[in-house]
């Protein structure tokens, strides 16, 4: 477990205050904030028939055999849109990932597990299509923030959804969750009761229930000041994965709140906490390790 101080910069404080006061804060941020150099190579591509089943793709310039990152945003499973996270797509692409930013159906259109089924279909689209943008679809990582971290982690740990979508779970080489809820029983609050309360088997809604020794390596991070999704979720999942022998990197960023950990991926707020470098460094190590292992297996078979 590593603690990293958060730089209290006047610009960062002013921007966070403006975002909190804005009617559509992330839309404003997505429009006005400086972006990393990369290309949006697909805009609103359909992975399903619904209006919420659309995605955008961002690629590094000159991408070739790049790993794929599928990103899921947060919003309590009842809000959010991919356009407001273009800066995340560009940030991950600037670190060498062909990045899919996917919308998914929300409450009240769907409840659990509808958004997970959509997430699996978005991964299936990436497997089938990312190669045309310079990606290697055999090397996929799943990334998410808040409710999106739940989606990413659950898809990585519970292989049923990917299998149902026609994707081998082994394609997922690593997962990354930022401020995610992974251990939230008993259900508390209107949102989680609306979204998960109808599940036939409530324990099966929790990512902790699906940890095995074959679970993908995990980068799990939280803000130490997160008062929305408490850091105990990150601690509990990291401990469960370690006990199973799964590689885990657990980070607690001092002074960072719930929204701050995702905003730290952006260019203007990146100096506050090294979330982008820590996370992408971990992910790159594990997708690169998977390439080396494949080559060694091929050589041994000759």
Q: What residue ranges in the chain does DSSP mark as E strands?
A: 2-4, 39-46, 54-59, 66-72, 98-102, 135-145, 172-178, 218-223, 248-253
Provide the pairing of β-strand 2-4 with 98-102. unpaired
Distance CA 277, CA 261 (A): 13
Mean pLDDT for the chain overall: 91
CB distance 261 to 250 below 8 Å:
no
Instruction: Classify 84 as helix, strand or coil.
Output: helix
Average pLDDT rounded to a whole number, residues 282-293: 80
Three-class SS of 167-218? CCHHHEEEEEEECCCCCCCCCCCHHHHHHHCCCCCHHHHCHHHHCCCCCCCE
CATH annotation of 2-301 = 3.40.50.1820
Greater model confidence, 34 or 207 = 207
- Asked if the model's pLDDT at residue 228 lies above 50, the reply is yes
CA distances from 43 to 2, 55, 119, 177, 203 (A): 37, 7, 17, 25, 37
| Cα radius of gyration rounded to whole Å, the chain | 18
pLDDT on residue 15: 54
pLDDT on residue 299: 37
Instruction: Give helix 86-94 / helix 25-32 axis angle, nearest 10°.
Output: 40
- pTM: predicted TM-score of the whole model, two decimal places: 0.90
Distance CA 146, CA 266 (A): 16
pLDDT on residue 295: 41
Nearest to 289 by CA among 173, 127, 135, 141: 173
Cα–chain center distance at 16: 22
**Side-by-side strand order, sheet with 218-223:** 2-4, 248-253, 218-223, 172-178, 135-145, 66-72, 98-102, 54-59, 39-46
pLDDT tens for residues 147-198? 999 999 999 999 999 999 999 999 999 999 999 999 999 999 999 999 999 9
pLDDT tens for residues 107-150? 999 999 999 999 999 999 999 999 999 999 999 999 999 999 99
- Asked if the model's pLDDT at residue 302 lies above 80, the reply is no
Domain ranges within the chain, ordered by starting residue: 2-301
């Amino acid at each position: 477990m590593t603690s990293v101080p958060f730089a209290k910069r006047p610009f960062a404080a002013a921007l966070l205050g403006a975002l909190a006061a804005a009617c559509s804060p992330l839309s404003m941020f997505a429009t006005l904030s400086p972006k990393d150099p990369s290309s949006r190579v697909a805009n609103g591509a359909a992975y399903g028939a619904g209006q919420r089943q659309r995605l955008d793709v961002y690629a590094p310039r000159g991408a070739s055999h790049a790993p794929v990152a599928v990103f899921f945003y947060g919003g309590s499973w009842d809000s959010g849109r991919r356009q407001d996270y273009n800066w995340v797509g560009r940030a991950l692409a600037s670190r060498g990932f062909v990045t899919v930013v996917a919308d998914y159906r929300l409450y009240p259109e769907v409840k659990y597990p509808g958004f997970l089924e959509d997430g699996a279909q978005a991964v299936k689209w990436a497997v089938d299509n990312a190669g045309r943008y310079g990606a290697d679809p055999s090397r996929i990582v799943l990334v998410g923030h808040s409710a999106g971290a739940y989606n990413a982690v659950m898809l990585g740990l519970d292989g049923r959804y990917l299998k149902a979508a026609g994707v081998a779970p082994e394609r997922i080489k690593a997962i990354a969750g930022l401020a995610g809820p992974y251990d939230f029983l008993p259900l508390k609050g209107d949102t989680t009761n609306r979204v998960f309360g109808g599940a036939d088997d409530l324990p099966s809604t929790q990512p902790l229930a699906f940890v095995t020794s074959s679970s993908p390596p995990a980068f799990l991070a939280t803000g130490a000041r997160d008062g929305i999704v408490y850091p105990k979720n990150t601690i509990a999942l990291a401990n469960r994965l370690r006990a199973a022998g799964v590689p885990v990197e657990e980070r607690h960023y001092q002074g960072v709140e719930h929204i701050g950990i995702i905003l730290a991926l952006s260019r203007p707020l990146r100096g506050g906490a090294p979330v982008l470098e820590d996370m992408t460094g971990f992910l790159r190590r594990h997708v690169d390790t998977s390439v080396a292992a494949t080559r060694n297996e091929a050589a041994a078979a000759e």
